Structure 1
Amino acid sequence: MAQTFETVGVVGLGTMGAGIAEVFARSGRRVIGVEADDAALERGRGHLERSTGKAVAKGKLTEDAQREILGRVTLTTSREDLADADLVIEAIPEIMEFKRGLFADLDRICKPSAVLATNTSSLSVTAIAAGTSRPGQVIGMHFFNPAPVMKLVEVVHTVVTDDGLADDVAALARSLGKTPITAGDRAGFVVNRLLLGYLNHACALLESGVAGRDDIDAAMKLGVGLPMGPFTLLDLIGLDTSYEVCEVLFRETRDRRHAPAPVLRELVTAGLLGRKTGRGFYSYGEAAPAAPKARRAASVSTVGIVGGGPDAAALATALERAGFKPVVAERSDLTAVGEADVVLALSDRPVVELAVRLPHPERLAGLHLVGDGVAEVASTVLTSPETAAAVHDLVKILDRTPVMCGDRAEFVVNALLYAYLNDAVRMLESGYASAGDIDTGMRLGCGYPAGPLEMLDAIGLEAVRDGLRALYAEYREPAFAPVPLLDQLVTAGVRSIREYAG
């Protein structure tokens, strides 16, 4: 028989814990909120009153309903008051020693049938459970901040979790109006494991000089359609939090992509933690510089285009309409573009080998069109500053956002995106999360327009596999090598990984 969890305890009433308490109280359940001392308890009460008060102000909650919700929450500084709770969720700081100590205490206090849940975002649920006499009744129930608003809940089971408990907790999440996904106990679970690998990779690209902060953010927000760029998101999450999650991931995986990037460590050490300190990758409270206006590319009349297909034809048409003279050439014969003022090589791979075949190699830059609004402009070691500036202006004239980058495999967008998709396939291959849960997790947990496996199908398995091979050939990073499952699906002619996964 499924458990109903009528009385719920929440230990830790910071922003997250108070939000979790509110979610359960809204569902009609009795909630016991516990804090360490009276001052912390009053702060927790303030979180509850402000959050529900905002809902009243927005017309989403009546004052009577607010009073009912708050009336269902009993606040206390005594853990002993949790003795009769059916479920207790902890939302204390992400420090394993603290969590293990708390769970040992809860194990002593709570009735034998009570389920103990951790809201940890990345720590081992197994390690937390091992410190109790009831490891089969310990589970992860990871809410996302702000808990009253975010729909996703990660339900994390261990190798010793009682049969049926994960299903019961998932059903509980659904009764709260949430969408649960279920995962095995791996560092970072689904969302943070995929998200922090991507964010840390963005830091590595920045450090290596492939592209600048603003260009990388623009590429991923405007080119891929993500809610925000990686550095804006890192500042929002908090660089200290991101650093700690990367450390947890690296300790488990020993994957160098999870080792916190040195720039992340440096900023954290300096106390520059993002929005909460007023400065991280960006400085807050300062007026943003005005965007430069598009201008006529200086001294450019003839524009060479290297590459065929619809992109080359569309680019030539757009340039002609803007008053330039386009000249198109195939990669096999560059004669026609040899004397052009600038040469655009349509590619997502390094183009320096094309530059050296021209009489004026300094006039060539790579151009990768991303979506409808972004163009990556790749400068080779031979590209002159004048050419880079001229191509930047050309892209602006064509109503696209230029992303200036180095001439590296897959430039910026595909380098970040394909590695992230590879991580998702690796997660699926390992069997600890389903394709549907992986996609749901990233859509609801991060606000992405599509899940990674949905993106993979849309781009094409072979295109991503080949892009990963190019990344591996360039960087020799083991994590960039295509996951065997992806390689095998391409070889077998399978076109949809989601259909394969069922």
Structure 2
Amino acid sequence: MAFEMVGVVGLGTMGAGIAEVFARAGIQVAGVEADEQALARGRAHLERSTGRALDKGKLTPAEREEILARVTLTTSRADLRDADLVIEAIPERMDVKAELFAELDRLCKPSTILATNTSSLPVTALAAATGRPDRVVGMHFFNPAPVMGLVEVVGTVVTDPGVRAEVGDLAVRLGKTPVEVDDRAGFVVNRLLLPYLNHAVTLLDHGVAGRDDIDNAMKLGVGLPMGPFHLLDLIGLDTAYEIMNVLFDESRSDRHVPSPLLRSYVAAGLLGRKSGRGFYGDPGDGPQEKAPARTVHVVGSRELADRLEAAGFKDTEDADVVLQVGGSTPVSGRTVRVQLKGQVAELATSVLTEQEAVLGARDLLKIAGYTPVPCKDRAGLVVDALLYCHLNDAVRMYESGYASIEDIDAAMRLGCGYVEGPFELLESIGLAKVRDGLRDLHAEWRSPSSAPAPLLDKLVTAGLNRFPRP
């Protein structure tokens, strides 16, 4: 299809951004809102977004005027009758969306493709509300739409393959990278991202580590662009909770059960940035205790021992603090087990570990140039517990056959800002290491979802360290 004219229903931040994306690509857009007041807000979104691009030198004044001129704003859905594609970006309520799709089916010409920007609701149910289910797709943009480079193209069991291909080609024309995915709750990005964030809340709820420590572990230890609690506050805790419920309703997996702590925050109205307070925004944790160590003994890392000696600490076996780097031996007394992950040093402590030793180890590792992450001596500590289960989800997703390795990696790089996609991370860490780490997690937590995905286990058993590509 030529896609000379498209319609966008709903001009909130997301819908206005989608309208701008189409207009930037030279396509005429009919933007529809419920009333004049909502239409004025949509116009303001467009003007602000293109104004920022103008201020940054990414648009000339003439280009901005051309973009705005391509968008016709209206309160009449009848103005969509000649559109080649109509995409909705209205609130995430199935009843409201289904009613809209039934109306669009009556209004639009038979060749019009109907698309939804839903992030988690079933596209198949929306297709069933129309007389053209073969021409209904998901076209999930990411916020802010003019900036983010990913579009998830979601097909159902009845979507015409040609329609799916045409929408993918249109995404390329818009300057986006399309990833094709079947109609599963959460699609690719939310289905992988939200359980990982929920898992972080569970670790906090269980007292495995503190909020800041978990954020530091994943940002500095793995290289993710943002820690899980900062990201949850940005997404909105209510949004995260709703998506987890949608995932659980479909899968009934223990991996998708919303954390009770997340539920409590939502019930209390602590929703993140939108409410002014979520996991962050509280009065603060107060000053940290200090217990400076005078002597230290390092086991298992010559580099760490050298750093501390260079800072003036004498290494002696009869030391205030013993730093045991690596290993899995239970720790007690003056010994603190340390796992070095990038810029992070995880400090594993047991109920027998002396508090002064923990505080001393924390200060010593800061002096050595690491960000300390005190945590309970549990399987996987923080980084591996969160990361390995997250990567295992990606393997299960691929194994189920509804998204390719390339599309999963691209989705997480472009949709979440990952430097490496899940499969790239898996292969750089080592399949056997991740498989064995998952076995340890499963042995301790007894959670079915922490058991290694069968495909991962088979590849390791076969001696492979890469996933076969077509």
Q: TM-score band, normalised by the shorter chain? A: over 0.9
Aligned partners of 1:299, 1:279: CA distance in 2, in Å? 37
Aligned partners of 2:287, 2:4: CA distance in 1, in Å? 55
Which residue of the partner structure matches residue 182 of structure 2? 184
| TM-fit CA distance, 1:453 | 0.3
Which residue of the partner structure matches residue 474 of structure 1? 444
One of 285, 293, 300 as aligned partner of 2:294: 300
Aligned partners of 1:384, 1:73: CA distance in 2, in Å? 66
SS at match of 1:188: coil
Which residue of the partner structure matches residue 5 of structure 2? 7
Which residue of the partner structure matches residue 136 of structure 1? 134
| TM-fit CA distance, 1:298 | 2.7
One of 265, 288, 296 as aligned partner of 1:267: 265
The one-letter code of the counterpart of 2:47 is E
**Structure 2: runs of 5+ lacking an equivalent:** none
| TM-fit CA distance, 1:318 | 1.9
After TM superposition, the structure 1 = structure 2 runs for residues 174-213 of structure 1, keeping only pairs within 5 Å, are: 174-213=172-211
Aligned partners of 1:425, 1:299: CA distance in 2, in Å? 44
| TM-fit CA distance, 1:50 | 0.9
Which residue of the partner structure matches residue 358 of structure 1? none
Within the alignment, does 1:323 sit opposite 2:312 as a pair?
yes
Q: Is the 8 A contact 2:293 2:321 kept in 1?
A: no
The one-letter code of the counterpart of 1:375 is A
Within the alignment, does 1:239 sit opposite 2:233 as a pair?
no
| TM-fit CA distance, 1:378 | 1.1
Aligned partners of 1:314, 1:151: CA distance in 2, in Å? 41
Aligned partners of 1:250, 1:290: CA distance in 2, in Å? 37
Q: Is the 8 A contact 1:348 1:409 kept in 2?
A: no
| TM-fit CA distance, 1:317 | 1.9
Q: Is the 8 A contact 1:443 1:449 kept in 2?
A: yes
Which residue of the partner structure matches residue 487 of structure 1? 457
Which residue of the partner structure matches residue 107 of structure 1? 105
One of 25, 39, 42 as aligned partner of 1:41: 39
Which residue of the partner structure matches residue 347 of structure 1? 326
Residue by residue over 1:88-111, the C-alpha shift from the partner in whole angstroms, topping out at 9 and shown as x without a partner, is 000001111111111011111111
| TM-fit CA distance, 1:323 | 2.3
With over 3 angstroms needed to count, the CA separation of the structure-2 counterparts of 1:292 and 1:380, relative to structure 1, is closer
The one-letter code of the counterpart of 2:428 is A
One of 241, 249, 252 as aligned partner of 2:250: 252
TM-score by length of 1: 0.91
Aligned partners of 1:6, 1:243: CA distance in 2, in Å? 38
The one-letter code of the counterpart of 2:310 is R
Residue by residue over 1:304-345, the C-alpha shift from the partner in whole angstroms, topping out at 9 and shown as x without a partner, is 42x4xxxx1222222222222336xxxxxxxxx5x4322222
Residue by residue over 1:376-411, the C-alpha shift from the partner in whole angstroms, topping out at 9 and shown as x without a partner, is 011111001101001001101101100010000010
The one-letter code of the counterpart of 2:192 is L
Aligned partners of 1:179, 1:109: CA distance in 2, in Å? 30
| TM-fit CA distance, 1:291 | 8.8
After TM superposition, the structure 1 = structure 2 runs for residues 8-407 of structure 1, keeping only pairs within 5 Å, are: 8-283=6-281, 298-305=292-299, 307=300, 312-326=301-315, 337=317, 339-347=318-326, 349=328, 351-352=329-330, 355=331, 361-371=332-342, 373-407=343-377
Aligned partners of 1:118, 1:444: CA distance in 2, in Å? 20
Aligned partners of 1:388, 1:292: CA distance in 2, in Å? 12
Q: Is the 8 A contact 1:348 1:411 kept in 2?
A: no
SS at match of 1:164: helix
Aligned partners of 1:322, 1:382: CA distance in 2, in Å? 29
Which residue of the partner structure matches residue 416 of structure 2? 446
Q: Is the 8 A contact 1:4 1:172 kept in 2?
A: no
| TM-fit CA distance, 1:132 | 0.8
One of 372, 379, 389 as aligned partner of 1:409: 379
Within the alignment, does 1:501 sit opposite 2:469 as a pair?
yes
The one-letter code of the counterpart of 1:185 is D
| TM-fit CA distance, 1:471 | 0.4
SS at match of 1:280: coil
Residue by residue over 1:28-58, the C-alpha shift from the partner in whole angstroms, topping out at 9 and shown as x without a partner, is 1110001111110110011011111111111
SS at match of 2:374: strand
With over 3 angstroms needed to count, the CA separation of the structure-2 counterparts of 1:290 and 1:449, relative to structure 1, is farther
| TM-fit CA distance, 1:139 | 0.2
Aligned partners of 2:362, 2:54: CA distance in 1, in Å? 49
SS at match of 1:501: coil
SS at match of 2:339: strand
Aligned partners of 2:187, 2:128: CA distance in 1, in Å? 18
Aligned partners of 1:76, 1:280: CA distance in 2, in Å? 37
The one-letter code of the counterpart of 1:367 is V
Q: Is the 8 A contact 2:293 2:364 kept in 1?
A: no
Aligned partners of 2:73, 2:446: CA distance in 1, in Å? 55
With over 3 angstroms needed to count, the CA separation of the structure-2 counterparts of 1:415 and 1:289, relative to structure 1, is closer
| TM-fit CA distance, 1:292 | 7.3
The one-letter code of the counterpart of 1:31 is V
With over 3 angstroms needed to count, the CA separation of the structure-2 counterparts of 1:35 and 1:299, relative to structure 1, is closer
**Structure 1: runs of 5+ lacking an equivalent:** 328-336, 356-360
Share of identical aligned residues, percent? 64
Q: C-alpha root-mean-square deviation of aligned residues, in Å? A: 1.6
The one-letter code of the counterpart of 2:237 is L
Q: Is the 8 A contact 2:5 2:85 kept in 1?
A: yes
| TM-fit CA distance, 1:228 | 0.8
